[in-house]
Amino acid sequence: MNIKWLNAKTLDSAFTKMGFIINAYTLLPIVIFALLLPHLLSAPLFVAFYVVLLLAWFSIHNLGFIRLPKRVIRLLLISSAIIIISTSYGFHFSQQAALSLLSIMISLKFLEVKNDQDKRNIFIIIYLGCFILITYFFHSQSLLLALFASVMSFILVLMLSAFSRKPQDPIPLATHIKIIIQLFSKALPIAIILFLFFPRIPGPLWSLPDDNQMGKTGLSDKMYPGSVSNLVDSDEIAFRVDFKGKPPTADKLYWRGPVLSKTDGFLWTQENPRALHKPFNAIVTKTRDATSYTITLEPHQQKWLFALEMPSKIEGDTIQGFFISNDLQVINKHNIHQLTQYRVTSMTEFYLNPVRENELHNALYFPPSSNPKTYALGEQWRKQFKNKQDIVLAGLNYFKNQPFYYTKHPTIMTNNPSDEFLFNYKRGFCEHYASSFVLLMRAANIPARVVTGYQGLEKNSIGNYYLVRQANAHAWAEVWLEHKGWFRVDPTAMIPPERIEADIFQTYLEGLSFSSLNLANLPELSAQKKTKIYRAYQKVRQSIDSMKHTWNNWILGYDKTKQGLLLKLMGLNDSLQTLMLLLITSISGLLIIFQANNLYKQYKEKDRVYETYLLFIKKLNKKGLLISSAKGINNEGPEAIKIRAIKKFPNDALLIQTIVNHYIQIRYADNSAKSLKAEFINKVNSFK
């Protein structure tokens, strides 16, 4: 059964018996819907519904049930689209608003398409679809999305190829695919050259104002009882880490994030972060045990960057305008909307001095009329112990000796949560321990503050790198002692293994192995790690993430630094002149190769077709058609010769028509199928 695909005629298939017509014209709205789907999933409900309604209207029209709207109705539809956009986004011009507007515009364009011969409007739709492919990467550059974009680009070019042939006779789907593969195979080396040698520009090539509606993920700049434990069930990756050498030990794997100094007894917030105006070595002294690593940070729509305590050097082409705050937190100029890669050197052994004059005063603030029992206990320790370091040890021993339990599902505490946690429930997650410990220290006249971030990591054995997930979210304390400075205190590390509740083990096991809880020897953990199903699951999971990391590292992470390294390996300098010379010579060389290959093919294949056609003309002359001369056939076109030959030789009409039609397809419709050329040559040879 010879089925011609992508044409305006009914196909000879089971679908035609049911009255359906499967062609490019019918498939076009389905293709555009698939193309818009990634945007529609994040668009407001009214926008998604409106786009689906317009595409459905066009599809139902193709089935012959309804007509397309007239001019007045189209104007009303445009007006309603403007109302939907303005009510959904207001007058805030943002990326999401622009993408929703573009989605509606391309859907409205369908209502202007008259028929499958209306190439102008159809081509506008396909070209807009190509532009939509680019907009995928506004919010994500993941490997999965890139593969989806590649498939959709192939389908769009396939549709373009189908409509470009109208109203000529259709060609099989395999021929369309072969043409497009040849086209992509020529474009791919040019794309690779542009990727490798085009000057890398720091930051995005284009941008629109940040979207207020974009969901922020991960840690917040606020903390309250239960806020961190809400993240512990999340398997989402926060960032990936490539260490130069071995990673630090588990007790040093603290990834510093927002530092929270202000509190009302319930909610903890950070002071307005300002750039550190003092030299780094004046704040962080007696540093040693340097570790260098590269972080690939997932977009979290916040401004902070994470680093091991304490970062001494940070660099990266994708981070511009970042600064280290007065709380030694790394802050980026803009929110992190895209995958961001940067290189860090941290000192895991350090001595931290105060930064501001009022820093210690602010870190002593205890909100009045809140958590009175906590304040009383801290004041008792202040009077009991002369040495402030003994007070810190007393606070840690309090958690160790009292029946405190570590759980990710504690009782909700809203009224004086520190008192409720310390004296009533004694069951909590890291934010309960950290905030209560800080308040105890402040009550004992020791400056203290809460630090949030991530703790621990998980090794990917397949790719030999490490992951930090949202489940690694953690909160700890920093206290200040004279002659020692600020130093980290993690009260949760004091909880004995037997008082860690079972719900903690529902968290991913690899991450627990590298946490401050030191759970590696617990029977529950060890037994589950030994199961074949768990090991197989981990292997598949790590393999998939390793592919993502390779994509992030070598494609998305190909920045100016890596480009310069490539040029040095080639024995060249990384100047702009060198890059432009490489671009011009490489692309020019490719174009010369492509053109030489085309000329050779034309000489080898088309000349044989032409010679065979001359043989056909000679045979017609011998039969008495009296064509002027074989060399002068250009004066009389193939169609005219076919009409005269059929009239003169009606018995050979079918064969003559087939020969001339094949020649027209090969010569003028650029149908290079080998089967068609072979059939043309055989038909001419069989003509007597």
Q: What pLDDT, in 10s, does the model give residues 493-509?
A: 888 877 776 666 555 55
Q: What is the pLDDT of residue 396?
A: 94
Which residues make Cβ contacts (< 8 Å) with residue 281, sequence separation at least 6? 287
| 508 vs 331, more confident | 331
Average of pLDDT values for 471-475?
88
Domain boundaries defined on the chain: 14-197, 222-540, 589-686
* pLDDT band at 543; cut points 50, 70, 90: confident
| 583 CB-contact burial (10 Å; exposed 0-12 / middle 13-18 / buried 19+) | middle
Any idea which of 10-24, 516-530, 625-639 has the lowest mean pLDDT?
A: 10-24
Distance CA 439, CA 132 (A): 53
The burial of 615, by beta-carbon neighbours within 10 Å (0-12 exposed, 13-18 middle, 19 or more buried), is given as middle
More confident residue, 212 or 293: 293
Contact 407, 428 (CB under 8 A): yes
Asked if pLDDT for residue 24 goes beyond 50, the answer is yes
Q: 413-455: per-residue pLDDT in tens?
A: 888 999 999 999 899 888 999 999 999 999 999 999 999 999 8
Residues 6 or more apart whose Cβ sits within 8 Å of residue 427: 404, 405, 407, 410, 411, 421, 501
pLDDT at 330 over 60: yes
- Pick the most confident of 110-124, 229-243, 519-533, 551-565: 110-124
Query: Over the stretch 228-267, which tens digit does the pLDDT of each residue have?
Result: 777 777 778 899 999 998 898 888 899 999 999 999 999 9
Measured between its terminal Cα atoms, the distance across the chain in Å is: 30
Q: How far is CA 45 from CA 41, 103, 106, 407, in A?
A: 9, 13, 18, 38
Confidence check: pLDDT of 95 > 50: yes
CA distances to 307, 645, 648 from 623, rounded to whole Å, are: 89, 10, 10
Two tokens, residue 678 = 């072979």
Residue 471 backbone dihedrals phi, psi, to 5 degrees: -65, -15
Strands 405-406, 427-428: pairing kind = parallel
Tell me the C-alpha distance between 108 and 106, whole Å. Answer: 5
Would you say residue 584 has pLDDT above 70?
Answer: yes
Amino acid letter, 286:
K
Give the model's pLDDT for residue 503: 60
Residue 211's CB is within 10 A of a number of other CB atoms, namely 21
User: What is residue 394's predicted lDDT score, i.e. its pLDDT?
Assistant: 95
pLDDT, residue 504, reads 64
Token look-up 């434990």 returns: 229
Looking at the chain, the number of H-run helices and the number of E-run strands are 23, 19
CA-closest candidate to residue 324, choices 316, 333, 336, 337: 333
pLDDT in tens, 666-686: 877 666 677 788 888 888 888
Whether the predicted pLDDT of 186 surpasses 50 = yes
Query: 601 exposed, middle or buried (CB, 10 Å; 0-12, 13-18, 19+)?
Result: exposed
pLDDT band per the 50, 70, 90 thresholds, residue 14: very low
Q: What is the pLDDT of residues 336-385, one digit of tens each?
A: 887 888 999 998 887 787 777 788 888 999 999 899 999 999 999 999 99
What is the model's pLDDT at position 88? 85
CA nearest neighbour of 243 among 514, 520, 453, 534:
514
Token couple for 233: 């069930």
Q: Name residue 487's beta-bridge partners.
A: 479
* Rounded Cα distance, 231 and 227, in Å: 7
pLDDT classification of 15: cutoffs 50, 70, 90: very low
Neighbours of 74 (CB within 10 A): 14
- Mapped onto helix, strand or coil, the DSSP state of residue 247 is coil
Residue 202: predicted pLDDT? 60
Residue 248 exposed, middle or buried by CB count within 10 Å (0-12, 13-18, 19+): middle
- Residue 7 pLDDT: 40
Lowest mean pLDDT, pick from 384-393, 497-506, 525-534, 564-573: 525-534
User: Phi/psi at 475 (nearest 5 deg)?
Assistant: -135, 135
Band the pLDDT of 52: cuts 50, 70, 90. Answer: very high
Per the prediction, the chain carries an average pLDDT of: 82
* Identity at 188, one-letter amino acid code: L
Indicate the pTM of the whole model: 0.70
Tokens of 85: 């956009």
Q: How many CA atoms lie within 13 A of 472 on its CB side?
A: 28
Query: How large is the average pLDDT for residues 468-475?
Result: 88
Task: Fill in the DSSP letter of residue 605.
Answer: I
The band of 96, judged by pLDDT with boundaries at 50, 70 and 90, is: confident
**CB distance 158 to 180 below 8 Å:** yes
Q: Greater confidence, 500 or 324? A: 324
Q: Give the model's pLDDT for residue 338.
A: 79
